[in-house]
């Protein structure tokens, strides 16, 4: 295991924008080791006053929609404006083929070489909840390190986008223009979460198809009831290969940000997210308090057997176990 620094060394390094120390601090907060927990906590508490000032953008879309190509091009567009950008990834699938894992190494390679960009690949093998919580904390660390735009990328196939929506200010949904199946690629619920829908790969033979898809999404989004923040999600097109449409997307992000800051929804959203985060911690702590309890661990196999054989109803089994920690 890499030697741990002192809390103050982490904090000094992070505030100085030292990305090696930032990476080590993220590794510390991702650590499952009991002895790392209090140090991680101390670092987080101390950097908290320096966090919160970025625009947090969630980006999702089905595999192959062009997320990494898009983030690379979009990110470079942002760094050109001398803004510092961090890209964090949540990949709950962990069933990525070895091909994609190889691919991951070279993902966003150009962006990763930029001095104003920081890319942190997702830790694998963790539960969705676990990864997500560490991502929240990672956002805070990156903000303290001076990153002004934080992109959280997730694969649009599971429940991870709901989790990501709960930790960002702005949610960007990437969509493919398909042959007639425009609205089927993605669950309705995800469309509803989007602050902007972007049709990717609007280039070559695909331009007309993308324009048609754009109109379909415009109509589809019209059917949704207006949201309390009075934001009407626009539908844009872009090509990450030809680098078109990227500036327009960034302008929408800025427009959203200034409107929401003005009408109070920016702050409101972050406050709600903080409360949700607290409750998610409570749930997790209760769960580990329960499952880490030695007497419960000991008796669980017996109770399981009784439930399997029908001797106990599931609720009776649960109650018997609960009685041990009450």
Q: Which residues bind ligand GDP (CB under 6 A)?
A: 61, 63-69, 200-201, 203, 239-241
CB 155 within 8 A of CB 124: no
Least distance between ligand GDP and beta carbon 221 (Å): 22
Unique residue bearing structure tokens 């140090």: 39
For residues 99 and 125, which CB has a smaller minimum distance to ligand GDP in the complex? 99
Rounded to the nearest 5°, which phi and psi values hold at 108?
55, 40
C-alpha 152/C-alpha 213 separation (Å) is 25
C-alpha 300/C-alpha 314 separation (Å) is 12
For residues 66 and 234, which CB has a smaller minimum distance to ligand GDP in the complex? 66
For residues 69 and 247, which CB has a smaller minimum distance to ligand GDP in the complex? 69
Least distance between ligand GDP and beta carbon 58 (Å): 14
C-alpha 186/C-alpha 294 separation (Å) is 43
For residues 67 and 136, which CB has a smaller minimum distance to ligand GDP in the complex? 67
Residue 219: Cβ-neighbour burial (10 angstroms; 0-12, 13-18, 19+):
exposed
Decide the pairing of beta strands 117-120 and 149-155.
unpaired
Least distance between ligand GDP and beta carbon 193 (Å): 18
For residues 29 and 73, which CB has a smaller minimum distance to ligand GDP in the complex? 73
Least distance between ligand GDP and beta carbon 325 (Å): 44
Helix axes 128-144, 7-15, angle to 10 degrees: 60
Unique residue bearing structure tokens 């904390």: 137
For residues 199 and 260, which CB has a smaller minimum distance to ligand GDP in the complex? 199
Q: Is 245 left (phi over 0), alpha (psi -120 to 50) or beta?
A: left
Least distance between ligand GDP and beta carbon 151 (Å): 13
Least distance between ligand GDP and beta carbon 35 (Å): 36
For residue 88, the SS3 value is strand
For residues 241 and 320, which CB has a smaller minimum distance to ligand GDP in the complex? 241
Least distance between ligand GDP and beta carbon 67 (Å): 3
Least distance between ligand GDP and beta carbon 269 (Å): 26
C-alpha 86/C-alpha 103 separation (Å) is 20
Residue 231: Cβ-neighbour burial (10 angstroms; 0-12, 13-18, 19+):
middle
C-alpha 207/C-alpha 245 separation (Å) is 12
For residues 200 and 269, which CB has a smaller minimum distance to ligand GDP in the complex? 200
For residue 227, the SS3 value is coil
DSSP one-letter code for 179: S
């Amino acid at each position: 295991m890499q030697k741990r620094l002192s809390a103050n060394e982490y904090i000094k390094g992070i505030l100085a924008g030292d990305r090696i120390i930032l990476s080590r601090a993220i590794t510390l907060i991702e650590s499952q080791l009991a002895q790392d927990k209090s140090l991680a906590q101390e670092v987080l508490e101390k950097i908290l006053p320096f966090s919160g000032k970025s625009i947090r953008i969630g980006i999702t879309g089905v595999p192959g929609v062009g997320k990494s190509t898009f983030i690379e091009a979009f990110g470079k567009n942002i760094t050109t404006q001398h803004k510092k950008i961090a890209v964090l990834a949540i990949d709950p699938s962990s069933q990525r083929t070895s091909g994609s894992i190889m691919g991951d190494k070279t993902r966003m390679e150009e962006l990763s070489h930029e001095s104003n960009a920081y890319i942190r690949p997702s830790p694998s093998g963790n539960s969705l909840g676990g990864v997500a919580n560490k991502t929240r904390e990672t956002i805070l660390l990156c903000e303290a390190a001076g990153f002004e735009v934080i992109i959280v990328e997730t694969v649009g196939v599971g429940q991870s986008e709901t989790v990501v929506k709960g930790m960002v200010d702005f949610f960007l949904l990437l969509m493919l223009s398909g042959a007639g199946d425009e609205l089927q690629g993605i669950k309705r619920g995800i469309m509803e979460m989007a602050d902007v829908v972007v049709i990717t790969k609007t280039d070559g033979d695909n331009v007309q198809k993308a324009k048609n898809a754009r109109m379909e999404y415009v109509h589809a989004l019209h059917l949704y009831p207006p949201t309390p923040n009075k934001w009407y999600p626009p539908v844009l097109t872009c090509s990450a290969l030809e680098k078109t449409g990227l500036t327009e997307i960034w302008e929408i992000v800025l427009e959203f940000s200034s409107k929401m800051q003005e009408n109070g929804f920016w702050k409101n959203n972050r406050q709600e997210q903080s409360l949700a985060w607290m409750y998610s911690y409570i749930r997790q702590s209760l769960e580990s308090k329960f499952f880490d309890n030695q007497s419960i661990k000991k008796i669980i196999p017996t109770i399981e057997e009784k439930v399997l054989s029908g001797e106990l109803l599931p609720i009776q089994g649960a109650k018997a176990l609960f009685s041990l920690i009450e």
